[in-house]
Amino acid sequence: MSVRNGIVLLLALSTLTLLVGCGGSSSPKPNPVGFSQGNLSGTYVFSSTGADGNGGLLAAAGTVVANGSGGITGGTMDVIGVDFVPPVPVAQAITSGSYTVGSDGRGQATLTSSAGTIVLDFVLTSSSHGLVTEFDSGTGSGTIDLQTAVTSLSQLQGPYAFSFAGVDASLTNTFATVGAFTLDTTGDVTAGVEDFNDAGIPYLNQSLSDSVAATLGSGTGPGTITFTTTFGALTFDFYPIDATHLKFIETDSNEFLAGDAFTQTGASIPTGPMAFTMAGGSLATGPIAVGGVMTSDGTGNFTGGLEDVNDNGTISVAPVPFTGTAAAGGSVGGRVIVNLTGFVPATQWVIYPSSGGLLMLETDSATVTVGAGYAQTSQTFAASQNYGLNLSAVNTGNGSGSFEEDDIAQFTTTSTGFSGIVDINDEGSTSFDQSFSGTYTAPDSTGRGTATTTANNNQFVSFTFYVVDSSTVLLLETDSNQIGTGTIELQSAPAAHAAARSAVSLVRPILRAHTALRRK
C-alpha cells in the first residue's frame, strides 16, 4: 500500500467538519446481491474506533434512525478524541443526515449533530448487521447493528464481559482493559473485576465497582455508568444493541477507551479448535498484529497452537507453534490467566468467556495487544458466495509515527479467487469504488489460508485468514508496510424487513501505536 505523508487535522469542536471523498467517473460494477435502501430501516447502533489526521485516537458511537428510503430522521452520537478540547460535548442529537445502499450492500451515511458531520462507509451483511469504516478526514472501523429496544435496567443485569481499548491520560500510551461485571435492578455493580495493560504495565485482578449507578437512556440516547477503577472514576456512555451486546465509549477525557460488552449468560471457554486475532503495540515497539489457531480444553489450557505474526512489518515465515497453560483464575466472570510458551512476543494472556467470543488481553510487559478467539465449526471457505470485508490497519515508515488505514469491501468468490469493490480511507484520503480482486489458497485442515489482492489493478493487501464458521472469517494482514486485522462475513439474502441480527460482532477495539498530539 502507498503510505501518505503528514496529514495535519486539528479536531476542535467548533470546526469539526468531516468531508467524504468520492471515486472517479468510471466506477466498477457492483455485484448484484439485491440490497437496497429499504434494507436499512429502523434504529441502529453504530461504532467506529480509529484515528484523526494527527494519528491521535478518534472514536464514535451512537444510534441512528433510518427511514428505509435514504433519510436519517434522528439518533444520537458521541465523538471523542485526544485532540478535542475538554470538556467534550457528548450524546449530541443527530439533527440531519442521509444514506445510500447499493445492490451489493455497500453504502454511506452522513450524520450531522452540533459536534459536526461524520460520514460512515459500510457494507451490510444483512438488514440487521453491517461492517463500518469512518470515511472522512478521520478514519476508523466498527459495526452497525439493528437495535432491539431495552426499556428497563432489569434487562441489563448481565453478567457481562467487556473489552475496551484506546490510549491513557498521557495521550500516547496504548491502553487496554478486559473484565466482567453484573448490575442489579438499580444500576449498581454488584460483582466486578478488571485487568489493565497500560503501555506494558499490567494491573491484574483489580476490583471493579461503580461510583455512580448506571442509568438507562431514553429514546435514542445512551445509558451512562461510572466505574471506580485503579485509574480512578471512568465515565462511559453505553448504547445497547440488545440485552446481550452493549457499545461503550468513555466520555470523561481522563482516559480514552471504547469497546464492547457481551453477555456471559450461557457462555464458557470453548472446547476444541479455535481461531483468534489480536492487535496493538506501543510507541517503543511499533504496531503488531497476530492471528492463528489453537485447541482449547475448555479450562484455559491451549495446545496445538499455530501463530502468524506481523511485528512492525516483520512477518513470520511460517506459523509459530505455541501452547498456553492455565495459571490462575478468579471468582468473577470466568476469568483465567494463561501462561504462554513459544508465543511471539506475549508471554501471558487474561481471558474472559462471552457471547461475543473469548475476550483476550496480553498481560505482560512485551507490548499491549487485545483481541478475541472463537470456536471453529468449519475449516472451509465457500465459493460462489457474497461476502463483506473490513480491514483496520496501521501504516508505517512515514517518518512521523504510525497512521491508520480502514477499508470496506464487498466481493464474490470462486474456488480460487474473488472480485468486487473496495472503499479505502488511507489516513483521511478516501478512495471510493475501487475495483477489488484477488486469489486465495484453500484453507488447510486448521482453517488457515492465504490471499493476495489488487485494487484498481495495483497491488493491494496480502493476508492470512482463519475460518471460524460458514459465515465468519478472521484475517491478519501480512504486508511489511501495513499491520492490521479484520473480518470477512457472509452476506445473507436481503429481505424487505430486517432479519434476526447476527449474534456476534467481530469488529473489536484495536490498539494503534500513534504519535498522538496533546489536546489543544
Looking at residue 397, its pLDDT comes to: 64
- From 129, 146, 163, the end of a domain falls on 146
Q: Which domain holds residue 415?
A: 386-490
Q: Are the CB atoms for 43 and 65 separated by under 8 Å?
A: yes
In this prediction, what percent of the chain has a pLDDT beyond 70? 89
Write out pLDDT tens, residues 286-326: 899 999 999 999 999 999 999 999 999 999 999 999 999 99
d(C-alpha 433, C-alpha 244), whole Å: 35
Q: Which residue has the cell 501462561?
A: 339
d(C-alpha 16, C-alpha 265), whole Å: 41
Asked if residue 412 is part of any domain, the answer here is yes
* pTM of the predicted model over 0.85: yes
Looking at residue 85, its pLDDT comes to: 73
At 280, is the secondary structure helix, strand, or coil? strand
Asked if residue 64 is part of any domain, the answer here is yes
- Grid coordinates representing 393? 490497519
- Grid coordinates representing 274? 479455535
b/e burial code for range 120-134 (CB count within 10 A of at least 16 → b): bbbbbbbbbbbbbbb
- From 109, 130, 146, the end of a domain falls on 146
Q: Which run of H or of E encompasses 238?
A: strand 232-242
d(C-alpha 484, C-alpha 482), whole Å: 7
Contacts of 318 (CB under 8 A, 6+ apart): none
Q: Which residue has the cell 477489488?
A: 436
Per-residue DSSP letters for 29-57? PPP-----GGGSEEEEEEEEEEE-TTS-E
Candidate from 53-62, 161-170, 307-316, 492-501 with smallest mean pLDDT? 492-501
d(C-alpha 413, C-alpha 89), whole Å: 44
Asked if residue 515 is part of any domain, the answer here is no
Asked if residue 267 is part of any domain, the answer here is no
Asked if residue 395 is part of any domain, the answer here is yes
d(C-alpha 164, C-alpha 260), whole Å: 7
CATH code, 76: 2.40.128.120
d(C-alpha 316, C-alpha 288), whole Å: 12
Count of domains for the chain:
2
Q: Which of 331, 325, 307 has its CA nearest to residue 208?
A: 331
Contacts of 25 (CB under 8 A, 6+ apart): none
In this prediction, what percent of the chain has a pLDDT beyond 90? 77
CATH code, 408: 2.40.128
Query: How crowded is residue 492: how many other Cβ atoms within 10 Å of its Cβ?
Result: 19
Asked if residue 74 is part of any domain, the answer here is yes
Looking at residue 402, its pLDDT comes to: 59
Asked if residue 463 is part of any domain, the answer here is yes
- From 103, 128, 146, the end of a domain falls on 146
Asked if residue 498 is part of any domain, the answer here is no
**Per-residue pLDDT for 401 more than 60?**
no
**Per-residue pLDDT for 176 more than 60?**
yes
